[in-house]
């Protein structure tokens, strides 16, 4: 191998620290990289593969890199291409298994591959009916999750009876009845020639175990295996991995036990932690330097883990302290709001500020515990005119609107003559015919998602117009088809809204962690110490996604006007202490925004009252630059006039008044009386979007007051 180390291959190792370099240049397995968040694990394995390929040690087509999400896989493929090692397979367990199944099924079983069943609930309802088991939507969902758990734990209905006595079965069913239901579901599925998500892995593993030809062919195909996020591997995935390896040891695994967040689905860090025992000759590399986050962010992450209760989960060894390699950044901020809507509006306002001061929207994420929380953020961002992407981009090309758009573009590319327009212009024209418009809709939900998808296609066309010479619509369609084949979604330019679970492995400049109250974080159903530990790790994953700016927030009540009964998350209390904040406020007046900023943030901002110079700490006072005691300097009549204008205008738009302009902004408007767009933009809280959306009616309202005739 020493020959291979010479020459340009080595340049791949530049930009790695000593430990990363040691890992990346250990090309023979078994190898285990154990390290905390942001220490460059993913970077190290990507460089290791690239180095192996460029050094001629790996045949790129014989390497299989397994990552956790399709998005991470796409990211790895593009990084490998960038590092001069294209052609390596980077997939999720599921995608890799499905490909093999599609290939071998006709040969081993014959006939068409069973169709994939997306949702278990309907089939399960039928199975329950046959068995005369009474169910409702909630119990069916719980039964479905339990079946998923059993399957990824490689337990058949019989195995469940024998091996899961300790588990509490869902919806009060006894083990026997549950096992019968599980069996009935499996039978029904087979009768209908369907397979569920877990079957894809089970069937593939089964084929590899039972058919030597299949095993030989797959083992011949793949020589080197790399698994990222190995702390969250399930017994079923592990079984598949072992079948792929077929006793060979060319395996590199990477993980962080403190980021185990899927044990509720049957995943376990045991395989990661016992790697050395299973492979006594394994090299183990540890990385401790955190390259992602500032010392301020890292400190909070360390405190959160240090505060965990000793004696919790045995398989969660004492976490390593992360050491930030970055220079100091802004202090994280903690804020409390009266209700969910106010919290979301506060976040949207901060996002707008970040965007105005130069942070790209794609570098901002709002993360939450349950998917149901997204609606409030969608609404607030849409009202503020800020684009966002709700879903991970992995299934972009499966979305109905994207398929429809590609079909329309294809037809157009076949019939249209070259009009001399740019491709982007042609794409805008075609997509207009299926409902795209240059202006984002102000509504949320499906309409907005559809628009975001189509806008992403327009954005991609614009980008490729710049990058490629003589680019044509036909080439664009070919590009889309190619990307669709590899699920390479264009990035949607916008803030990411994602659940904490789906954020693992990713990073953003600025991260908002919302809804940090008891009941949501930890979630109500986390009761045992192990479940609470997993919630803590989930928040740890959230905090460590932030590179520079971190905002933690919570709301006292769910609905505006509701009683503020929610308690601050127990996990946040030691973090508040660190940031110089006391106990969270007992009561928050409705409509009051950010109640407490930590001392450092206060010093940094040093917002002072224009009247007496006192340091301001309450959101609305900061915006209007005046403390409660100093007399207002604005025209009170104009202020009242604007308030009544806002009421009817907001009513007309069917949004809440404060989402148009806050009282603090109205006070500033009544003080400065702006009548041009340029003057409006001078008012804190008013950016280009606001001017675009409400500028004309607002100016008219001010004019009407100043010149009544
Ligand atoms: P996670 O546990 O969240 O998956 P990770 O350990 O996989 O994190 P990476 O995503 O590989 O970490 O790296 C985190 C960030 O630090 C990335 O932006 C990466 O490019 C950067 N980074 C890692 N190592 C170095 C290095 N040696 N020099 C400069 N930047 C680095
Ligand atoms: Mg990673």
Q: Are residues 154 and 174 in the same domain?
A: yes
Distance from Cα 205 to the centre of ligand 1, integer Å: 33
Share of the chain above pLDDT 70, in %: 86
The answer to whether position 134 is within a domain reads yes
**Hey, which residues does 64 pair with through a beta bridge?**
89, 225
Distance from Cα 505 to the centre of ligand 2, integer Å: 4
**Given ligand 1 and candidates 14, 32, 35, 42, which is best to mutate, with the most ligand atoms within 8 Å of its CB?**
42
Instruction: Please name which ligand lies nearest the alpha carbon of 47.
Output: 1
What total of structural domains would you count in the chain? 6
Q: Are residues 386 and 510 in the same domain?
A: yes
Burial of 418 per CB tally in 10 Å (0-12, 13-18, 19+)? exposed
What 3-state class would DSSP assign to 496? Answer: strand
The answer to whether position 408 is within a domain reads yes
Instruction: With beta carbons less than 8 A apart as the criterion, state whether 481 and 475 touch.
Output: no
Distance from Cα 264 to the centre of ligand 2, integer Å: 21
Instruction: Please name which ligand lies nearest the alpha carbon of 227.
Output: 2
Instruction: Please name which ligand lies nearest the alpha carbon of 292.
Output: 1
pTM, full prediction: 0.72
Share of the chain above pLDDT 90, in %: 50
Q: Are residues 349 and 363 in the same domain?
A: yes
DSSP state string for 212-247: HHHHHHHHHH--EEEESSGGGB-HHHHHHHHHHHTT
Pocket of ligand 1 (CB under 6 A): 15-17, 20, 35, 37-43, 256, 259, 291-292, 505, 507, 544
The answer to whether position 36 is within a domain reads yes
Distance from Cα 324 to the centre of ligand 2, integer Å: 16
Largest distance between two CA atoms of the chain: 91
Instruction: With beta carbons less than 8 A apart as the criterion, state whether 66 and 227 touch.
Output: yes
Report which of 504, 499, 590, 492 is spatially closest to residue 540, judged by C-alpha positions.
504
**Given ligand 1 and candidates 19, 34, 38, 543, which is best to mutate, with the most ligand atoms within 8 Å of its CB?**
38
Q: Are residues 210 and 281 in the same domain?
A: yes
The answer to whether position 238 is within a domain reads yes
The answer to whether position 583 is within a domain reads no
Residue ending a domain, among 192, 217, 249, is 192
Give the atom of ligand 1 at the shortest distance from the alpha carbon of 36: 2
Q: The CATH number of the domain where 141 resides is what?
A: 1.10.10
Q: Atom 30, ligand 1: which residue's CA is nearest?
A: 291
Distance from Cα 491 to the centre of ligand 2, integer Å: 19
Helix, strand, coil percentages (3-state) for the chain, rounded to 5, are 55, 10, 35
Question: Which residue would you say has higher pLDDT here, 445 or 605?
Answer: 445
Give the atom of ligand 1 at the shortest distance from the alpha carbon of 544: 3
- Reported as a single tens digit per residue, the pLDDT across 266-317 is 899 999 999 999 999 999 999 989 999 999 999 999 999 988 876 555 556 7
Give the atom of ligand 1 at the shortest distance from the alpha carbon of 43: 11
Q: Are residues 260 and 132 in the same domain?
A: no
Q: The CATH number of the domain where 657 resides is what?
A: 1.10.150.80
Q: Are residues 379 and 509 in the same domain?
A: yes
Q: Are residues 277 and 341 in the same domain?
A: no
Q: Are residues 502 and 568 in the same domain?
A: yes
708 φ/ψ angles, rounded to the nearest 5 degrees: -55, -30
Q: Atom 19, ligand 1: which residue's CA is nearest?
A: 40
Distance from Cα 75 to the centre of ligand 2, integer Å: 11
Q: Are residues 281 and 351 in the same domain?
A: no
Q: Atom 9, ligand 1: which residue's CA is nearest?
A: 40
**Given ligand 1 and candidates 261, 292, 502, which is best to mutate, with the most ligand atoms within 8 Å of its CB?**
292
Q: How confident is the model at residue 591 (pLDDT cuts 50, 70, 90)?
A: very low
Instruction: With beta carbons less than 8 A apart as the criterion, state whether 536 and 304 touch.
Output: yes
CA-CA-CA-CA dihedral for 540, 542, 543, 547, to nearest 10 = 130
Distance from Cα 449 to the centre of ligand 1, integer Å: 31
| Highest mean pLDDT pick, 74-78, 287-291, 584-588 | 287-291
Q: Atom 23, ligand 1: which residue's CA is nearest?
A: 40
The answer to whether position 315 is within a domain reads no
Report pLDDT for 602: 37
Give the atom of ligand 1 at the shortest distance from the alpha carbon of 39: 6
Report pLDDT for 564: 65
Give the Cβ contact number of residue 37 at 10 Å.
24
Report pLDDT for 55: 93
Give the atom of ligand 1 at the shortest distance from the alpha carbon of 290: 16
pLDDT above 90 (res 436): no
Report pLDDT for 311: 58
pLDDT above 50 (res 6): no
- Reported as a single tens digit per residue, the pLDDT across 594-642 is 433 343 333 333 455 666 555 555 555 655 666 666 666 778 888 889 9
Query: For residue 425, what are its two tokens?
Result: 């212009």
Q: Are residues 650 and 699 in the same domain?
A: yes
Q: Atom 8, ligand 1: which residue's CA is nearest?
A: 38
- Reported as a single tens digit per residue, the pLDDT across 475-518 is 899 888 877 765 555 666 789 999 898 899 999 999 999 999 99
Distance from Cα 44 to the centre of ligand 1, integer Å: 8
Q: The CATH number of the domain where 9 resides is what?
A: 3.40.50.300
- Reported as a single tens digit per residue, the pLDDT across 102-152 is 999 988 888 899 998 877 888 999 999 999 988 887 788 788 889 999 999
Distance from Cα 17 to the centre of ligand 1, integer Å: 11
Domain range for 409: 396-486
| Highest mean pLDDT pick, 22-36, 401-415, 592-606, 648-662 | 22-36
Residue ending a domain, among 262, 291, 320, is 291
Q: How far is CA 411 from CA 143, 414, 430, 471, 483, in A?
A: 45, 5, 10, 17, 18
Burial of 707 per CB tally in 10 Å (0-12, 13-18, 19+)? exposed
The answer to whether position 353 is within a domain reads yes
The answer to whether position 309 is within a domain reads no
Report which of 702, 655, 117 is spatially closest to residue 383, judged by C-alpha positions.
655
Q: How confident is the model at residue 396 (pLDDT cuts 50, 70, 90)?
A: low
Buried b (16+ CB within 10 A) or exposed e, 264-281: eebbbbbbbbebeeebee
Q: Are residues 433 and 479 in the same domain?
A: yes
Q: How confident is the model at residue 454 (pLDDT cuts 50, 70, 90)?
A: confident
Give the atom of ligand 1 at the shortest distance from the alpha carbon of 259: 2
Residue ending a domain, among 453, 486, 519, is 486
Q: Are residues 480 and 506 in the same domain?
A: no
Report pLDDT for 595: 38
Distance from Cα 453 to the centre of ligand 2, integer Å: 27
Which positions ≥6 away from 82 have C-beta within 8 Å? none
Report pLDDT for 603: 37
Query: How far is the C-alpha of 704 from the C-alpha of 698, rounded, in Å?
Result: 10
Which positions ≥6 away from 626 have C-beta within 8 Å? 609, 610, 611, 632, 633, 667
């Amino acid at each position: 191998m020493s020959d291979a180390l010479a020459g340009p291959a080595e340049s791949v190792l530049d930009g790695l620290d000593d430990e990363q370099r040691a890992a990346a240049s250990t090309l023979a397995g078994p190898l285990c990289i154990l390290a905390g968040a942001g220490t460059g694990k993913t970077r190290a394995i990507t460089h290791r593969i690239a180095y192996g390929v460029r050094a001629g040690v790996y045949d790129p087509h014989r390497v299989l890199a397994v990552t956790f999400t399709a998005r991470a896989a796409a990211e790895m493929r593009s990084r490998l291409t960038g590092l001069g090692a294209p052609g390596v397979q980077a997939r999720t367990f599921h995608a890799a298994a499905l490909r093999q199944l599609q290939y071998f099924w006709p040969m081993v079983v014959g006939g068409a591959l069973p169709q994939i069943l997306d949702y278990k609930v309907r089939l399960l309802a039928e199975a329950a009916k046959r068995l005369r088991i009474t169910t409702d939507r909630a119990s069916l969902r719980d039964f479905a999750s339990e079946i998923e758990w059993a399957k990824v734990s490689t337990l058949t209905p019989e195995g469940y009876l024998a091996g899961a006595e300790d588990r509490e079965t869902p919806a009060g069913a006894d083990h026997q009845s549950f096992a019968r239901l599980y069996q009935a579901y499996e039978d029904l599925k087979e009768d209908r020639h369907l397979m569920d998500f877990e079957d894809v892995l089970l069937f593939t593993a089964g084929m590899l175990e039972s058919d030597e030809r299949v095993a030989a062919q797959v083992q011949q195909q793949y020589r080197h295996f790399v698994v990222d996020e190995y702390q969250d591997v399930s017994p079923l995935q592990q079984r598949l991995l072992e079948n792929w390896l077929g006793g060979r040891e060319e395996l590199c695994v990477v993980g962080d036990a403190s980021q185990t967040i899927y044990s509720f689905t049957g995943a376990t860090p045991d395989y990661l932690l016992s790697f050395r025992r299973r492979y006594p000759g394994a090299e183990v590399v540890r990385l401790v330097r955190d390259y992602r986050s500032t010392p301020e962010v890292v400190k909070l992450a360390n405190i959160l883990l240090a505060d965990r209760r000793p004696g919790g989960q045995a398989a969660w060894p004492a976490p390593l302290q992360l050491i930030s390699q970055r220079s100091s950044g802004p202090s994280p901020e903690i804020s409390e709001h009266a209700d969910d809507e106010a919290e979301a509006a506060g976040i949207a306002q901060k996002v707008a500020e970040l965007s105005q001061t130069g942070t790209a929207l794609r570098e901002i994420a709002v993360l939450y515990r349950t998917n149901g929380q997204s609606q409030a953020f969608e609404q607030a961002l849409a009202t503020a005119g800020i684009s966002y992407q709700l879903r991970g981009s992995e299934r972009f090309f499966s979305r109905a609107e994207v398929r429809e758009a590609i079909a329309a573009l294809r037809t157009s590319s076949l019939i249209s003559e070259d009009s001399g327009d740019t491709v982007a212009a042609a794409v805008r024209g075609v997509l207009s015919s299926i409902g795209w418009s240059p202006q984002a809709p102000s509504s949320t939900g499906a309409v907005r998602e559809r628009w975001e998808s189509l806008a992403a296609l327009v954005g991609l066309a614009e980008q490729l117009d710049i990058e490629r010479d003589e680019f044509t619509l036909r080439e664009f369609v070919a590009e889309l088809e190619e990307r669709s084949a590899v699920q390479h979604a264009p990035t949607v330019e916008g803030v990411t809204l994602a659940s904490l679970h789906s954020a693992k492995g990713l990073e953003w400049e600025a991260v908002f962690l919302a809804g940090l109250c008891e009941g949501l974080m930890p979630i109500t159903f986390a009761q045992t110490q192990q479940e609470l530990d997993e919630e803590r790790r989930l928040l740890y994953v959230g905090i460590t996604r932030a590179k520079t700016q971190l905002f933690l927030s919570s709301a006292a009540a769910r609905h505006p006007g509701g009683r503020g009964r929610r308690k601050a998350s127990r996990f946040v209390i030691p973090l508040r202490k660190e940031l110089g904040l006391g106990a969270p406020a007992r009561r928050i007046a409705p409509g009051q925004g950010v109640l407490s900023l930590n001392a450092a943030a206060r010093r940094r901002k040093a917002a002072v009252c224009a009247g007496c110079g006192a340091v301001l700490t309450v959101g609305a006072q900061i915006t209007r630059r005046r403390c409660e005691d100093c007399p207002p300097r604005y025209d009170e009549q104009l202020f009242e006039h604007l308030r009544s204008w806002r009421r009817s205008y907001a009513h007309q738009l069917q949004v809440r008044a404060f989402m148009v302009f806050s009282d603090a902004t109205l006070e500033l408007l009544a003080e400065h009386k702006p009548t041009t767009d340029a003057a409006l933009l001078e008012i804190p809280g008013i950016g280009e979007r606001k001017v675009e959306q409400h500028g004309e009616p607002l100016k008219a309202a001010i004019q009407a007051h100043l010149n009544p005739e």
